[in-house]
Amino acid sequence: MNLMSVDLYQSATDPMKFLALPAGIDPAELMGPMTFDQDYAQVVKYREGFEFDPSESYAGVNAAKIAADILTVKWAMYRREA
């Protein structure tokens, strides 16, 4: 898979929960994530323009699932596991 440029947001109420969006998308315009989990109603930018490689291994996350979610629904909710 190719690199994906994504913006990462962290939940303001649960610091282990993150939201990945295609770079430049405003999370305030999305209803989906907070519909599934209220912890995504308030997010803070964690990292901007991250070059995400779905084939890489990232500690505590399922990169392939994040990429699949972004490609299908345009956002991915995930929880960083220790």
Instruction: Name the band, by pLDDT with cuts 50, 70 and 90, for residue 82.
Output: low
Residue type, 70: I
Instruction: Give the three-state DSSP class for 29.
Output: helix
Model confidence over 47-61: pLDDT tens digits? 999 999 988 888 888
Phi, psi of 70 (to 5 degrees): -65, -40
pTM, whole model, 2 decimals? 0.89
**pLDDT at 1 > cutoff 70:** no
**Cβ 14 vs Cβ 39: under 8 Å:** yes
Contact 47, 40 (CB under 8 A): no
Q: Is 48 left (phi over 0), alpha (psi -120 to 50) or beta?
A: beta
Chain segment 24-47, per-residue pLDDT in tens: 999 988 888 888 899 999 999 999
